[in-house]
Amino acid sequence: MAEPTANAPAPEYDHYLMLAALLLLGIGLIMVFSASGVVAHDRYQDSAYFLKKQLLFAVLGLGLMLFIRRVPYQTYNRYVYPILLVSLVLLVLVLIPGIGVRIRSAARWLKFGPLVIQPSEFAKLAIIIFLAYSMARKQEKIQYFSIGFLPHIIVAGLFILLIEKEPDFGTALSVAGITFLMLFVGGTRITHILLAVLAASPLLVYVIIKNQMRIGRIVTFLDPWKYASDQGYQLIHSLYAIASGGLMGLGIGKSREKLFYLPDAHTDFIYAILNEELGLIGAVTVIGLFVILVIRGFLISLRAPDIFGSYLAMGLTSLIGLQAAINMAVVSGLMPTKGLSLPFLSYGGSSLLVNMIAVGILLNISSQTQRSPDSSRRGKA
């Protein structure tokens, strides 16, 4: 796409999408400070410790979003394989002792000076860009097993195996979910997807059975109160937090469960603290913002100028929406516990950066769509 000339009108972005993302980011910063203040003061004698780090990534993420929204999304066509290769190398590096940063028996992070990043988060972006590019190129033969299905599954499967090796079961499942969703929407035969799911089922069962913690999470999910003092402790206190909030909530900073009762209160279970402090009204507001973001993202996908943009927008929207839905379901006791953060709200720099980059790309696609509202999707990316 040609750069706009001096006399050309400024590009119009999807303001509803951007506003929803910025509101979620703002709510997230408030909740990170509220949920982490007590723990931060206890560990680091600075109640704003986690807020400062999250604020740094928020500013960086906002800058990336504003920059990336001006980068034509067609540019990623030229850098698909370098992006994929770099992401793959980073996933391998985290598994090398002495290079990968290990926390709680999991090697998921790399340290670059003062910054610690989680390569699996960026791997989601790499897979989505690759799938969008490859599916757009193979659109006419997408229903052929050896062309439209097998190569995509092999590449995604390699990433999923490396992520699971960390181990990061939740992220591995989310990458698999996004992959199958994109293939399904792209026109891959449903029989191919079903056969792949059936073929992977024994491996999935094995991965769960070999890890006692995962088995415990499933058993606990079925009856958390039976294991209230052990594996059910986190879920039960999450439910306590949600129930305590009522309609209006206890007020910002007045959560009781964050006082060393609910583990991971500022990360994976921040939505429980939000329920407790902002009540049902705050919880529904956050859900509403995610719904707006997802609806606008899918509309951008439907109106994208070409097939690549359509698949890219759909994948990025699914990345945010699927993870948000899973996190809130876990916190509410509707799914077994998984280590997935809540987009824009949970403490974590890598996740925040990836989500802001995703929004930036979506905004760029929307700007091209609005400048060419009558353009139809072309068969080639």
| Sequence-distant (≥ 6) Cβ neighbours of residue 86 within 8 angstroms | 126
- The β-bridge relationship of strands 115-117 and 106-112 is antiparallel
pLDDT, residue 167, reads 86
Residue 266 has phi, psi (to 5 degrees) of -100, 0
Burial of 60-77, coded b for 16+ CB within 10 Å and e otherwise, reads ebbebbeebbeeebbebb
Distances in whole angstroms, Cα of residue 66 to Cα of each of 62, 138, 163: 6, 32, 30
DSSP reduced 3-state for 191: helix
Please name the residues in contact with 200: beta carbons below 8 A apart, sequence gap of 6 or more.
Answer: 176
The average confidence (pLDDT) of the chain is: 90
pLDDT of residue 178: 95
For residue range 116-141, list pLDDT tens digits in order: 899 999 999 999 999 999 999 999 89
Q: What is the pLDDT of residue 78?
A: 93
Let me know: does 355 contact 321? Beta carbons within 8 Å. no
Q: What is the pLDDT, as a whole number, of residue 339?
A: 76
Looking at residue 209, its pLDDT comes to 84
Q: What is the pLDDT of residue 219?
A: 84
Residues of the chain short of pLDDT 70, as ranges, are 1-10, 370-381
- Helix (H) / strand (E) containing 117: strand 115-117
The token duo for 86 is: 């770099």
> What is the Cα–Cα distance from 19 to 37, expressed in whole angstroms?
27
Task: Please name the amino acid found at residue 44.
Answer: Y
